[in-house]
Structure 1
Amino acid sequence: MNNKGKIEQFLKDLENVDNQISEFEICFKILNFMQELKEIPQNLIWEAIAFALYERYFEEGLNREPNWETYFGPLLRWFTEGGKIIEYPNIQQITPETICYWEKRVQESKHPVFKARYSNLVWDFSEKITGKKPHFSIAQIFIDSVIEIAEKNLQDHFFIIKKLERALSLALIINDKDRIEKLIDTIIKYEDTIADDDKLSSWGFSYKLLVKNKKIKLEKNKEQTIVKVLEKRFERLLTKDDRYPAKEAAFLLIDYYNRHQNIPKIKSILLKLGTKIQEQADKVSPLIASVWLKELYHLYLQYGLKNEADKILTKIKELGKKSHSELKQIEIPIEISKDEFERFINGLIEGDFKTALTNVTLFYIPRKDETIKQLRDLLQKAPLFSFTTHKILDKDGRLVATIGPLKEDIDGRLVLQISQNMGVSSFFLHETLKALIEKFNLDTEAIINYFYESFIFDEKRKVFFVQGIEAYLHNNHLTALHILIPQIEALIRNLAEKIGLQILKPSHSGGFNYKTLDDLLREKAIIDILGEDICLYFRVLFTDPRGWNLRNNICHGIAQIEHFNSITADRVFHALLCLALIKM
């Protein structure tokens, strides 16, 4: 058999499967077959691309620059050492000829999994690649193939649910009422067939795809069937050990009754869920229990269960005191030779006094673009860590902030990463400043004179800076931080005034308050002068509860005595050096 005949037979045999099969399995079969060939024809490359592309790439938050703006995306993405993005498949591999080939395969294929994939690709890429919209019949073929896949259970339920959602969206786009109704029935029947209380991903999708979907006009009896099944499942889940499935069922029911403004029903569901959560909270550590109860507390408040919320709050306070003792300190050793370290420090402080100060100041400013690259690398190297949620607690166990997974909370993760990087570099900053002060024999007068070369330092406030720097140089961190942090806020406010920004905002008492430091650091005019990196740095350092938050913690009497140390004092001094860079 020649090469062409061998390939044709392979593609025919590929579809000859009776058991469940995923697109990834098909892709690997194609790639393995390609290794047997001396010359690989273009059509086989198009086949591999077809089954390697990843569904719902954009919707699942995995997309990063460059953005294809398509339903499908690359299966793999990684960065070279030079920062270049490599993708497989690459969108450049998809040409008008590729689309024509996939259209041909739509007609040739008999197996619904194959037929669904080819038609889905043609619908997704035709206009982007060829400039022409696909015929509506392509969407109809995809919808019919997906319905057959679900009825015959030809894939794992995870993939089938994803396809049913896509099919429903295409049916709505082409306004095919018959197929919409057929899909509604298929979705309800499919969930009824595969639903297992212990498998969270196997139920609830009928409600999400049909009841929550405002574009779907669902018959009342079908809606009631979905809700009644969900209510019965919720009651069963309350009897099981794991609280999470019961919570998910409760949230769907709360969503439904909230839409119908049935508050008594919502309260009934919440009280049942609350009993379940509190029972489970008694069996876990105080740290975990407090997180569960905080979520319950906010739910109770949201739906008017104030008395119950107050009782939960009392428990949270008790747990908070216990949970802090569970926190463990993690230390990561960094090895660097003495010679390397000295070369590093000397390189930063070489030159004259002002050159050295400028170099040190600029070097220790966190860079937003570098941190984003660090987060991207982390997503590649430690994906599980990037998908976790972080809870930040204070010494008393109070929840200060919640930072979501990387793809959902890029701003929060950026602040967290900069905060952590500042902690790691604190030793180096301290030794650098120490060497700088020793080399140039810096005293309070020299530093103050340097500061006051900047126009934003006010002569009327000079005594504050003199006292603050004097305290810093004598390691009196308690005094230095209490004096200097409010002066940094005054400097930013002074800068705002000098460039014509409004620094006042109306107060509740009918007068005016000054805008907060955080407000000012978000002003475009301030960002234009200080730069995005410094403004973000100052927010992490002074005002963001996800970061160091020094301004709020110290000025509001929250900081503990151990926080008044050389690490925080060095950072505040460095912030002043940053502001001293601003010249007329």
Structure 2
Amino acid sequence: MILLCDVNKIMLNDKIKKYLNNLDNNENLLQSFHGEYKIAEEIKNILKKEGESYKPSDEDIFEQIAFDFLAEYPNDNSGWGIYYGPMFILPNKQGQMVEYPSIQRVTETTLNYWENRAKETKNPILSSRYADLVVDFSPKVLSKSADHKLFQLVIDTCITICEKLIAELLDCKTKIKRALKLAIQINDEERIKRTKETIISLEEKIAEDGKAGLWGFAFEWLLLDFSNKVSITPQEKNGLINDLEKRLKRVKENPWSTECAVSLLAEYYSKEKDETNLMRVLEILEKSFKEDDRTNSDALLKIHAFEKIHEIYQKYRDKGFLEAKKAVDRISQEIGSLDLDWQKSLKRVSVATDIEKEKIDKFLDAIFGKEEQNELENILARIVINFLPKQADLKNQLEEISKNNPLQFLCNTQIISGDGIPIAKLSSLNDDYDNHFQNYASQYLQLSSSLLSLMIEELKKRISKDEIVEYFKGSFLLKNENGEYIRRAISAYWDNDYLVSSHLFIPLIESSIRELIRVCGGIILVPNSISGYDRFPLTALLKNQGDIIKVVFSQIGHDMPFYFRLVLTEKLGMNLRNNFAHGLEKNTFFYRETSDGC
């Protein structure tokens, strides 16, 4: 049963009632970007002024929350799977997550109230909001669809809003898109046609070349997103294409606007299998990026522009366009040949930390022994245990840092190699946790390198080079290695010739890992194509046989396969083995941090 709730007969606060009646008589009062949310704000202010003794009625709350729900709510875990969602979800004092407005406040009584308000109000913005809430929440709250006429009311009022431009321009876009979706949902051909015509008319009225958000939406919705749901005449179709092509010519000096136009045209020409026009508009975008003064003023901006071009061509290469494949190869070559001034684009960030000498001495005593020096094997084990990061600790640190600096982990992060090549782009922490973790662990190792250097210098003072050489020559994993090779590697390191020591250490480490896996019964050989066997490369060994290494080192409480990958084979780590093997980032091998890490 529908409850009658005329605004003048219900238990609504008189001041709220007066405010809403005023909106009915002057629809232009809502013509701002915040639109309906200003209504909720005004209602809250009215209730606040009533004082703590005033208890808001149900109707007061119905009006307030009606305009606090967020339209076009993101389709994620924090919403309810419908068009509207809460304004925010935040923890309370007890740490429990609380949403506002809560869907629990939306009951059959609430929906009845909104339905009657939708029918009685004269303001199309109010009517549209009330009716749309009923349309959206009814299946969720009542397990049934709203009255068909309410769908029609939302569509009709949205059309009126856009025809009169009584909402902010971007809000008009949102409302007419909602109208189109609802018209399609109820399969109302007449209203689909009217909405289509309003979309085209709206863009004609509000489009400005310099405001990319105000154009292209008619093309996007009618020729791409809903093309199989909306009938469009050849004249309308040609008009939309020609308008966007003309706009592209006008904005081609602006890479951002050019990208907005080309992204739509390229999708359309791709759908039509029109490779000639597809490549034409993509080349316009490429030229716009390459010739832009701002893009060319900074190495980071320039490499980002080339990456963007590369990604776009890849997209259409993957759809089977041969010319796009050629463009991908060409841009790849150009990226490798870019002359980039990273010194100008990047700034060095340094942090100084003071450590009391007493703490350093205490730390070294724990490693080497205080009154009596520890055995060499014990010293080396303590150095390893103290230097290697525990994954659990790193995860806790990363979680704490992300809480204290959330913006840092919401934006994309570009990772540049030491020789100026973009090797990775990390998205948000939630979407790309593993790569963020590797990157953080690598940074942790770099920051810890000074402490490791301190331990190594103390080791050199206390233990002779010959003792170290003999110790490693006697190691079980190195017993089959050439003794002179081991001596030269350690001697170069002892004499601070880090370039030589790194190049000798890395093959030695790889062969030791392979030997460890062999003696533990792991697989180190793989059949090749000439009826023989090849040794597994290090990357494959650490990936496929890592459990063996983990078991061997389980007593020290560290994930050694993770550390080996981080130092030797991971792009987001030090990647020493691959850089050494392929002649990459050669300058890093001059520094002691590289040899220390080995």
Is 1:550 matched up with 2:576? yes
Coordinate RMSD, CA, aligned: 4.9
SS at match of 2:388: helix
Cα distance in 2 for partners of 1:178, 1:506 equals 68
Code of the aligned partner of 1:196: E
CA contact (8 A) 1:289 1:319 kept: no
| Map of 1:112 onto structure 2 | 124
Code of the aligned partner of 1:263: E
Deviates further, 279-288 or 512-521: 512-521
Deviations 1:427-459 (A, max 9, x none): 35555676799899997489869997xxxx686
| Map of 1:284 onto structure 2 | 296
Cα distance in 1 for partners of 2:23, 2:473 equals 79
SS at match of 1:26: helix
Cα distance in 1 for partners of 2:142, 2:548 equals 41
| Map of 1:18 onto structure 2 | 28
CA contact (8 A) 1:58 1:70 kept: no
| Map of 2:323 onto structure 1 | 304
In structure 2, relative to structure 1, the CA distance for the partners of 1:297 and 1:105 (3 Å cut) is closer
Cα distance in 2 for partners of 1:68, 1:497 equals 54
Question: Where do residues 27-426 of structure 1 align in structure 2 (5 Å cutoff)?
Answer: 27-37=40-50, 38=52, 39-41=54-56, 43=58, 44-59=60-75, 63=76, 68-76=80-88, 84=95, 86-89=97-100, 93-95=102-104, 97-98=106-107, 100-109=109-118, 110=121, 111-128=123-140, 130=141, 132-135=143-146, 137=148, 138-213=150-225, 215-221=228-234, 222-238=236-252, 241-280=253-292, 284-285=296-297, 287=299, 288-296=301-309, 302=317, 304=323, 316=335, 319-320=338-339, 322-338=340-356, 342=360, 345=363, 353=378, 358=385, 360-363=387-390, 367-368=394-395, 370-372=397-399, 374-375=401-402, 377-379=404-406, 382=407, 386-388=410-412, 390=414, 392-395=416-419, 397-404=420-427, 412-426=435-449
CA contact (8 A) 2:219 2:240 kept: yes
In structure 2, relative to structure 1, the CA distance for the partners of 1:480 and 1:563 (3 Å cut) is closer
Cα distance in 1 for partners of 2:184, 2:162 equals 19
Runs of at least 5 residues in structure 2 that lack an aligned partner in the other structure? 1-7, 552-556
| Map of 1:567 onto structure 2 | 593
Question: Where do residues 447-462 of structure 1 align in structure 2 (5 Å cutoff)?
Answer: none
The structural deviation recorded for 1:285 is 2.0
Runs of at least 5 residues in structure 1 that lack an aligned partner in the other structure? 573-584
CA contact (8 A) 1:54 1:74 kept: yes
The structural deviation recorded for 1:208 is 2.3
Deviates further, 190-199 or 130-139: 130-139
In structure 2, relative to structure 1, the CA distance for the partners of 1:541 and 1:189 (3 Å cut) is farther
Deviates further, 535-544 or 202-211: 535-544
The structural deviation recorded for 1:200 is 0.9
Q: What TM-score comes out, normalization by structure 2 length? A: 0.73
Deviations 1:114-161 (A, max 9, x none): 344444444555555x47244263544443343333223232232332
- Higher RCO (CA < 8 A, seq sep 6+): 1
Q: Which has the larger radius of gyration?
A: 2
In structure 2, relative to structure 1, the CA distance for the partners of 1:113 and 1:368 (3 Å cut) is farther
Percent identity between the aligned chains? 25
Code of the aligned partner of 1:478: L
CA contact (8 A) 2:412 2:425 kept: no
| Map of 1:579 onto structure 2 | none
SS at match of 1:35: helix
Deviates further, 40-49 or 518-527: 518-527
Cα distance in 2 for partners of 1:76, 1:447 equals 62
